[in-house]
Amino acid sequence: MGNKLIDLQGISKSYGKHMVLDDLNLYIRENEFLTLLGPSGCGKTTTLRIIGGFEKPDKGRVVFDGQDITNLPPNKRHLNTVFQKYALFTHLTIAENIAFGLKIKNKPKAYIDDKIKYALKLVNLDGFENRMADSLSGGQQQRIAIARAIVNEPKVLLLDEPLGALDLKLRQDMQYELIRLKNELGITFVFVTHDQEEALTMSDTIVVMNQGYIQQVGTPEKIYNEPENAFVADFIGDSNIIPGTMIEDELVEFLNAKFKCVDKGFGNNTPVDVVIRPEDVELVAPEKGIIQGTVTHLIFKGVHYEMEVMANGFEWLVQSTKMWPVGTKVGIKVDPFNIQIMNKPESEDEEAVGVDE
Amino acid sequence: MKSFARRFYLFLIVLFLYMPIFVLIVASFNDSKILGTWKGFTLHWYRDFFENATMMNALRTTLVIALLSATIATVLGTLACMTMAKMKKSTKNIIVGITNIPMLNAEIVTALAFMLLFIGLGVSLSFSTVLIAHVTFCIPYVVLNVLPKVQQMDSNMYEAALDLGATPIQAFFLVTVPEIMPGILSGFLMSFTMSIDDFIITHFTRGSGINTLSTMIYTEVRKGIKPEMYALSTLLFVTVFILLFLVNYGPKSKSTKKHKSLTQLMFKNKYTIAVSVCVVIIVGIFGYQLLKDDKEYIGDVYVYNWGEYIDPEVIELFEEETGYKVHYEEFETNEEMFTIVDKKARVYDVICPSDYMIEKMLENDLLTEINFDNIPNLEHIGKQYLESAKGFDPENKYCVPYCWGTVGICYNKNMVNEEVNSWSILFDEKYDGKILMQASVRDAYCVALSYLGYSINTLNEDELKEATDLLVSQKPIVQAYVVDQVRDKMIKNAAALAVIYSGEAIYMQEENDALEYVVPDEGSNVWIDGWVIPKDCQNKEAAEAWINFLCRPDIALMNFEYITYSTPNESARALIEDEDIKNSQIAFPDNSVLSRCEVYNYLGTEGDNLYDYYWTIVGGAESD
């Protein structure tokens, strides 16, 4: 992965009294597929719009390729955006849409025509030159929006929840399509989404955000397997988050039972949060489990069964390829490697502030 | 059966809606001037219309105003929409509500408000005031059409354009404007239509000499309906119909069509047609005007006169001979004219008010002295009339008499077998139920005061009381107090005696030769309408040229023959060929008659109130 291409330094932004971003620091490397992930209102879109130049931060700097572009208008930035609702120009044909940026820059006609052909081929829509934008399906419009952006050869492509309006199947296809495009073009993608699956599938780096703060930055594997706080754990995939106490290194107690784990350095008798992924919970015969409980719900999910097990006053979410009918007494076991220990936040605020490296 | 009933009902509704217009359109192609008789198809009303300079002028003004106001309103309204679309929803709803109100507001209220505003600001009504008013009432229609388009438009489109390298201005013109173009065009066409359509607001805000089709039709119709009007109205209807059709069925088909070529052609064609229709009409009109305006032009003169008070040919002759362009406007009452001139709502160069009103205008310092060096034709005006005019213009400095007449008694020889020479006959119970009185305060008191031997301008309360008692006591034998019906009633022998103006007597005699007119020995009122020049006149030379022209004997004669009121022009009288009229005691009575008559003086507000007070007593008295 290359050098820092975009560097956001101490960015703050508020609308009226509502603070959207507070002292945000983030860098994006050249050639990276970086995803800003978080629930609505977390500041991810604002961050993208600040990079695109559509919003000015109240405080902080945006550095692009070593240059401060904080006050540069969008039309002077070497990056292009794919908008959530495509924002195709409905009064123009597809070809005219794609040519828009090139015509503004007064490129020769032959060059523009080549570019249109190339871009349409790239997004698998050859022959659509003379169609009108609103005669295309959502997925096709999305591809045109991408084509319109990339013909300008931006160093960075900003994508604002581009798959949000598509149906599930199409969304999955487009995920692969985007990965392929990114690899073919070799440029940086900054992708905004609230869909953790999209983020996990496509990204090199995921930035989890909440309430204007970065919660965790890392590869999809790291974010998924080692969430740094309860918010990330909860937001990325499903989790059992259980309050407990770290008795000593490698031993944690929760739900009135002691479990072996691999974490160290939390001190003795410290209150912590314990995170266990549903697929990491093993259901066994009652006598073989560390704690015992009863299956209360059962759903077939295709790849696996999803069950809820009531044990020691906590409702466990469990995913397993093996089915345990409702009412069955079961025992629960967890591999020490699959127990993730997190510091308990001391206040509500800290839950949001999270960990900054 | 049921569906037949339904269809028949629908047919009735459509018939009900379109019957009047249908009749109008048919009439415009009817060779007969009389409605209801079909004499064959003709286009000559259309030809007459296109050859009528007044109408073509009005058409040009209408189109220029419509085009300008629609353009300006479209620009202003569209910009307003851009701002409104960015507002918070609650604020926006309030603003939209505010902009909608003018559309629902009674037009007459808007019109009066505009007039008051302009007059209040001291702005003379002119072409610009009409334009400003039109722009104002068009803006809501633009907002109505454009705002939804702006809101429908993905707000990211503008940003996408910026993102692709366009400057804010490029983004606005290359993306925002084309995206909302259907709304802009609809707004423009609707404004254009509304502007062409408007009468009330134009009527109240137009300056002197400015006539649109609707105000022109209004003025003309008062003089009688000409078949050219049918042609004009048909053309107006068809134009508005086409424009509205285009607005409603224009760009909608767009999104359903798949291919650019077809959609864009359809889309462009409809508007191209609409726009080219407008352009062709306008170019045509201007071209026509250019061809037509071959006269030598040296300036404008704005004339304000009573309705039906000049031979239209006289105006044309004046324009041809002098090179002045006449902007001719009419008023219906002295009071209406006074308000306009006093408030400087419209500026005129030369006006023709009545005696007492001239006095009032002098008291209000609204008139300027006439330079009689420029009016050599004054020598044709009889000295006795100038003498009478001294009643309101003591030094004969401000007014040149135009028409005059007396108030007297008209009686039917077959019903009145005695000599009539006194007002007393109107109080004779022998004629119970056969007497008609004039329903105007001054004329009614003129009868009573003259009969009692008092001045018709008295402000002495005892004399007024006495006159009031006399009128009250007379009321049981009076058939009615009337204004216009007097002519018809006397002609149809429905009454024996009536108080009338001399000018009407000649006409009535022609219709019924049993009628006679007499000015009683006790004296009466002589009225004089004369030309005066207001202080704020823009072209005094032109005004004086106008007055001088009207004093020329041949011209005065033309006018006399057209309007039949007595002319003070002695030389014109000498030219009259019909001996009966030339020697008519009604049209040209002996000097003795004139000398025993008085003009009405301006009595001041208090005087007017005094007369009005007693007049209500007469009005409230038992009539039988």
Indicate whether this complex's ipTM tops 0.90.
no
Contact B514, B413 (CB under 8 A): yes
Six-digit token pair at B146?
Answer: 């454009």
Mean pLDDT of chain A: 89
Indicate whether A231 belongs to any domain: no
The mean pLDDT value for A308-324 works out to: 91
> Position A191: which residue type?
F
The mean pLDDT value for A72-89 works out to: 91
Integer Cα distance of A197 and A172 in angstroms: 10
**Residue A29 confidence (pLDDT) above 80:** yes
A131: Cβ contacts below 8 Å, ≥ 6 apart: A93, A94, B258, B259, B260
Lateral strand order in the sheet of A314-320: A281-284, A329-334, A291-300, A305-311, A314-320
How far does B268 lie from chain A, in Å, by closest CA?
Answer: 12
Chain A residue with CA closest to B156: the answer is A87
- Per residue in A160-217, pLDDT tens? 988 877 788 888 888 888 899 888 888 999 999 988 888 998 999 999 999 889 999 9
Name chain A contacts of B165, Cβ cutoff 8 Å. 75, 101, 104-105, 152
A113: domain CATH number is: 3.40.50.300
CA distances from B10 to A90, B15, B19, B320, B433 (A): 40, 8, 14, 56, 54
With a cut of 50, list the residues of chain B below it in pLDDT: 252-266
A204 shares a domain with A123: yes
Integer Cα distance of B187 and A146 in angstroms: 35
How far does B253 lie from chain A, in Å, by closest CA?
Answer: 13
Termini Cα distance of chain B: 61
User: How many CB atoms sit inside 10 A of residue B452's CB?
Assistant: 14
- Per residue in A257-284, pLDDT tens? 999 999 888 888 888 989 999 999 999 9
Alpha helices in B250-310 (DSSP H): 260-292
Q: What integer pLDDT is reported at residue B252 of this predicted model?
A: 47
Where is the domain boundary, A225, A257, A285? A225
How far does B244 lie from chain A, in Å, by closest CA?
Answer: 23
Which residues share a beta bridge with A189? A33, A157
A256: Cβ contacts below 8 Å, ≥ 6 apart: A291, A312
A38 shares a domain with A128: yes
Domain that holds residue A336: 238-346
Contact B499, B443 (CB under 8 A): yes
A316: domain CATH number is: 2.40.50.140
Name chain B contacts of A130, Cβ cutoff 8 Å. 259-261
A218 shares a domain with A109: yes
Scanning B218-277 for CB atoms below 8 A from A yields 255, 257-261, 263
**Residue A32 confidence (pLDDT) above 60:** yes
Lateral strand order in the sheet of B350-351: B324-331, B299-306, B350-351
In this complex, do B156 and A148 lie within 8 Å of one another by their Cβ atoms?
no
The DSSP string of B487-522 is HHHHHTT--SEEEEEHHHHHHHHHH-TTEEEE--TT
How far does A91 lie from chain B, in Å, by closest CA?
Answer: 6
Q: What integer pLDDT is reported at residue A352 of this predicted model?
A: 46
A122 shares a domain with A82: yes
Integer Cα distance of B441 and B486 in angstroms: 16
A31 shares a domain with A159: yes
Indicate whether A352 belongs to any domain: no
Domain count, chain A: 2
Where is the domain boundary, A225, A251, A268? A225
Given CB atoms, is B21 within the 8 Å cutoff of chain A? Answer: no
B159 → closest Cβ in A74, A104, A152: A74
A254 shares a domain with A162: no
Which residues share a beta bridge with A142? none
User: Which residue has tokens 């002119």?
Assistant: B126
How far does B169 lie from chain A, in Å, by closest CA?
Answer: 11
A174 shares a domain with A110: yes
Name chain B contacts of A91, Cβ cutoff 8 Å. 178-179, 181
- Per residue in B86-126, pLDDT tens? 888 888 889 888 888 888 888 899 999 998 898 888 888 88
A244 shares a domain with A221: no
Name chain A contacts of B178, Cβ cutoff 8 Å. 89, 91-92
Name chain A contacts of B156, Cβ cutoff 8 Å. 83-85, 87
A25 shares a domain with A161: yes
Where is the domain boundary, A191, A225, A259? A225
Taking an 8 Å Cβ-Cβ cutoff, which residues of chain A contact chain B? 52-54, 73-75, 80-81, 83-93, 100-101, 104-105, 130-132, 134-135, 148-149, 152
Which residue in A103, A104, A190 has the most chain B C-beta atoms within 10 A of its own C-beta, making it the best mutation to test that interface?
A: A104
- Per residue in B291-318, pLDDT tens? 555 556 788 899 999 877 898 889 989 9
A269 shares a domain with A200: no
A248 shares a domain with A211: no
Indicate whether A233 belongs to any domain: no
Q: What integer pLDDT is reported at residue B132 of this predicted model?
A: 93
Indicate whether A355 belongs to any domain: no
Residue B208 DSSP label: T
Indicate whether A277 belongs to any domain: yes
In this complex, do B162 and A152 lie within 8 Å of one another by their Cβ atoms?
no
Query: By CB neighbour count within 10 A (0-12 exposed, 13-18 middle, 19+ buried), where does A349 fall?
Result: exposed
Q: What integer pLDDT is reported at residue B275 of this predicted model?
A: 67
A135 shares a domain with A32: yes
Question: Going from the N-terminus, what domains does chain B have, and what CATH number goes with each?
Answer: 54-226 (1.10.3720.10), 299-402+529-577 (3.40.190.10), 403-528+583-620 (3.40.190.10)
Indicate whether A61 belongs to any domain: yes
Six-digit token pair at B301?
Answer: 């003169």
User: Which residue has tokens 């109008």?
Assistant: B24
Q: What integer pLDDT is reported at residue B256 of this predicted model?
A: 40
Indicate whether A230 belongs to any domain: no
Indicate whether A354 belongs to any domain: no
Q: What integer pLDDT is reported at residue A349 of this predicted model?
A: 47
| Closest to A138 measured CA to CA, from A191, A83, A176 | A83
B597: Cβ contacts below 8 Å, ≥ 6 apart: B388, B406, B519, B523, B524, B525, B526
Q: What integer pLDDT is reported at residue B274 of this predicted model?
A: 66
Q: What integer pLDDT is reported at residue B278 of this predicted model?
A: 67
In this complex, do A93 and B174 lie within 8 Å of one another by their Cβ atoms?
no
User: Which residue has tokens 């069955």?
Assistant: A328
